[in-house]
Chains A and B, each alone.
Chain A
Amino acid sequence: MPVLTPSLNSPALSPAGKRQHASHRESAVAPYLLIAPFFVGFIAFQLLPILFSGYLSLAEWNGMTSIRFTGLQNFIALSKDPRFWSALRVTLIITVVCTVVGTAGSLALAVLLEKVNDRLASLLRVIFFLPSVTSVVVIAYIWRYLYNTDYGYFNVLVQQLGLAPQKWLQDARLALPAIIVMLIWAGLGWDALIIAAGLRSIPSEYYDAARVDGASGWSEFWHITLPLLRPTLAFVLVTSVIYLWGIFAQPQLLTGGGPLRKTQTIAVMLYEQGFLYHKFGYASAMAIILSLIMFVSSYLNFRFVKAEVEY
């Protein structure tokens, strides 16, 4: 971290007199005053709750009676709970598919957007950005109605094509893919925007040099764009993995986690256990596991991308 402050000079090194000493002392208290409003809230609403969650994950509690310490009991119970394994699997599928398809799609979109003229590109960017600024509740309900079995527009289309209508959100095989399609749609513009920023930070001299050497569009993409875009792609990957592991509103609103828990993510199960059944200890154990998963997957992403850059 760069240290820039001029008042850093210790009094011993500084030849100045008392006046400077006083202002030095003033600015020694100032930073603490500046960060105080944030850190008071941070301790109350972030740090202490996190520690308390850690403790609750080792206890049994419904919020009313006294907390009963049970050691690793919650984690053992989770490891034997088929609902938890199912939720883990569902969330993993969502995370992997949406990240891979979504990142590839938004990369393609961002690259193509750079090829059209600026005014059209900025209009299109706004369109693709819309789902990023729309409430997930609004998005989920639009899609829920589009997927509706009897009156939804997707089944109107399917029937016009001469196919049988589907129970998109009630069919155990289709519900998860249906949610994934919606998630990819919703995430495309945001990732494309961030990738666009990365694309613009690549110095044009690289492309000029490649053109002099007679490189084709594809080899330009593989040998210049992609390697130089790695830090940006790492950022996109990490943020979307964290977001997707915690996905809650979309499955909850589209299917409520059904049919047969086929779309129940960890977060939906956590909400159910914690806030519908008041099993605070059990839900806290899930929160701890979820936090660990996010931490580890971010770390692995960084490692992966870094290792690739160093070849």
Chain B
Amino acid sequence: MRQARILRWGIAGFLCLFAILYLFPYIWMAAMSFKPDAEIFSGHVFPAAPTLEQYDRLLNGYHFKGLTLVVPFLTYYKNTLIVTLASLILVVTTDALAAYAFAKFTFRGKAFLFWLMIGTMMLPIYATLIPTFWLFSKIGFINTYHALIWPSVIDAYGIFLLRQYMETIPNELIDAAKVDGAGPFRIFWRVMVPLSRPALGTLVVFRFLFIWNDYLWPLIVLRKESMFTLPVGIANMQLRQGMVVWGSQMAASVLATVPVILIVLIMQRQFLRGLLAGALKA
């Protein structure tokens, strides 16, 4: 018994130590963002004289020998927010509607369409990259929000996740609504959506993370700096300013990461639980 307790404490101690080491890159990122230029290359982890200089530069421009370099960081932020919100609303709606059909209806071609969807879900984004890029350059979507929003609405994984959940909603509830004279769309709003809330929550967090952090596709369809999202913008800072950029790039990284961490902390229980449920059934 005593041995078991010592072992448990040992494991807890080991895990805490490991967690601190694991966290080190984040600690380093945050520490860098509060260092003045003179300390960036000092070799110490923590700043001796912490400053908000890097954040000030990021937001107000960098003055150097009479030149002013401005990184339109707030524009990156705005772009990312717009794309993420628009995409979330669209993707959750289309996914939920389709999941309802696959979970609670019988129709001709259902199995075929479902497996077609699941089959293409397995294919990498690279299988659609070039044609979609070409199409978008033909119809003038390059450097627009459209280029980011519309493809991100196609989310077979979300349909799969929601369908699994909706199948567990008892048919009696749907029948009762039918007896009351509700049509399929009314049933969708009044029965399916409220009862699927945990799965919808998971999907929202999931898609938020994906769209907020997506890099490859925005990199391909965005050429103008005024349209960049946060990941593309942060990556681009390196190319613009060379070595000087360490501090402000880490400041940008902190500002881009904080909302994501907050959302995960706030939604932690629901998100993780839903994620676990989805993963198990997959």
Contacts and interface: CB of A to CB of B under 8 A. Distances in A.
Contact of A5 (B97, B106, B137): B106
Interface in B1-46: 7-8, 11-12, 14-16, 19, 22-23, 25-26, 28-29, 32, 40-41, 43, 45
B130 A56 contact: yes
A2 B167 contact: yes
B124 interface: yes
A138 B29 contact: yes
Main secondary structure of the interface of B (DSSP, over half): helix
A75 B237 CA distance: 37
A56 to B, nearest CB: 6
Interface stretch (A42-50, A80-88, A172-180, A220-228): A42-50
B102 interface: yes
Contacts of A112: 11, 14-15
Contacts of A248: 216
Contact of A45 (B43, B132, B231, B246): B132
B238 to A, nearest CB: 7
Given A35-B98, A249-B216, A134 B260 contact: yes
B264 A129 contact: yes
Given A6-B175, A37-B94, A116-B12, A291 B123 contact: yes
A214 interface: no
Main secondary structure of the interface of A (DSSP, over half): helix
Q: Give the top 4 A-B pairs by smallest Cβ distance, nearest first.
A: A197-B276, A34-B101, A49-B128, A49-B131
A246 B123 CA distance: 10
Given A38-B94, A128-B22, A194-B276, A295 B127 contact: no
Interface residues of B, number: 99
A136 B280 contact: no
Interface string A265-297: 001001100110000100110111011001100
A232 B280 CA distance: 7
A129 B272 CA distance: 10
A288 to B, nearest CB: 7
A294 B100 contact: no
Interface stretch (A92-100, A141-149, A303-311): A141-149
B16 A124 contact: yes
Contacts of B123: 50, 291, 294-295
A139 B231 CA distance: 10
A115 B102 CA distance: 40
A242 B127 CA distance: 13
Contact of B98 (A34, A146, A294): A34
Given A135-B230, A242-B124, A151 B41 contact: yes
Contacts of B232: 137
